[in-house]
Amino acid sequence: MKLPASLASEYPFEPKRFQLSNHHSLSYVDEGEDKGIPTLFLHGNPTWSFFYRKAILAWKDHGRCIAPDHLGCGLSDKPNSSRFSYQLQDHASNIRELVDSLGIQELNLVVHDWGGAIGLTAFSSAPERIKKIILLNTAAFPSTDVPNRILFCRLPIIGEFFVRALNGFARPATWMASANGMSDVAKKGFLFPYRNWADRVAIWNFVRDIPYERNHVSRATLESTANKLHAFNSTPTIACWGMRDFCFHGEFLKEWQDRWPSMETYRFEQAGHYLLEDCFEEVRSKMEPFLFGD
């Protein structure tokens, strides 16, 4: 899948590709000066590395910026569910495999939405490799606080039809996840990789993989990650939080504060879930000195 010329100025990168051991390929942006500690940006659902385009452009002169598209997302391969599980552990394994292939031993971690669970699962057994963490409206612990509109999307048959045939998850996100509204080109960018039933395979499977039930297949993985979060207690961490997020709302932020009391918190009262769309410069003013300051 190739990005159209109409989006080239918004996403002016030439993504690289990495073939995983499962024979599927990840697309990833790898930009910037190879100096200092590289930063790994992990997106959630239903976004892709496009979510971090402004951050990469702003910071590639400060250091190396790496932003993969999870399998099934963005410009990565989109295997059907019979060829890839789309479960938390497998996404996390893909990230570890990519990072290891690049020979990166230490990194900073920026995570949004599902990126938090994936990234912290990926490095839960090697916390010493993570030098700094930035949380952006995310979670890495189980919760039953899931909006009804998202629970609806998990329903058998009707939920899949709504998400994959009607684009009833990614398209509404372009206005529901932004408190201030997005430009037309930004909307086109977020939606470009998800144009048909086959393209939306990961969107549906991410929703299905929410470990809402106690016997859910990914519940044990997420509980294990949550139980290991204490290993990051001494890792410098900040949270930048859009307070008008209907999904990862303020209660999730409070849970992070309880788990990591030394974490610095910045609340953006007029921003929603896509806070990098709603107030990038304000968020940048907190993230940039944290990542690249002395």
143-170 pLDDT tens trace: 999 999 999 999 999 999 999 999 999 9
- Alpha-carbon separation of residue 68 from 38, 110, 148, 214, 250 (angstroms): 13, 12, 30, 30, 27
Task: State the maximum Cα–Cα separation within the chain, in Å, rounded to a whole number.
Answer: 53
CATH of the domain at 209: 3.40.50.1820
Token pair, residue 249, equals: 């709302």
Alpha helices in the chain (DSSP H): 53-59, 88-101, 114-122, 148-153, 158-160, 170-176, 184-191, 201-208, 219-227, 250-259, 275-278, 280-292
The total number of structural domains that make up the chain: 1
DSSP 58: H
Please give the order of strands across the beta sheet that includes 65-68.
16-19, 25-31, 65-68, 39-42, 107-113, 130-138, 237-242, 264-268
What are the backbone angles phi and psi of residue 272, rounded to the nearest 5°? -105, -155
Question: Residue 282, Cα to own-chain centre: how many angstroms?
Answer: 20
- Alpha-carbon separation of residue 250 from 37, 58, 237, 269, 275 (angstroms): 30, 28, 17, 10, 14
Lowest mean pLDDT among 2-6, 244-248, 262-266: 2-6
Euclidean distance between the first and the last CA atom of the chain, given in angstroms as a whole number: 40
> In this structure, which amino acid lies at residue 24?
H
> Pick from 158, 154, 122: which is nearest to 140 by CA?
122
> Pick from 101, 95, 100: which is nearest to 117 by CA?
95
DSSP run (H or E) holding 16? strand 16-19
> In this structure, which amino acid lies at residue 172?
P
pLDDT (0 to 100) of residue 1: 74
Expressed in percent and rounded to 5, the helix, strand and coil fractions of the chain are 40, 15, 45
The domain in which residue 110 lies consists of 5-292
Please check whether residue 192 is in contact with residue 7, taking contact to mean a CB–CB distance below 8 angstroms.
yes
pLDDT (0 to 100) of residue 35: 84
| Averaged confidence pLDDT in the chain | 96
pLDDT (0 to 100) of residue 248: 97
Is 4 or 276 the better-scoring residue by pLDDT?
Answer: 276
Cα–Cα distance measured from residue 21 to residue 60, given in angstroms and rounded to the nearest whole number: 29
Digit-coded pLDDT (tens) for 71-118: 999 999 999 999 999 999 999 999 999 999 999 999 999 999 999 999
CB burial of residue 17 (10 Å; 0-12, 13-18, 19+): exposed
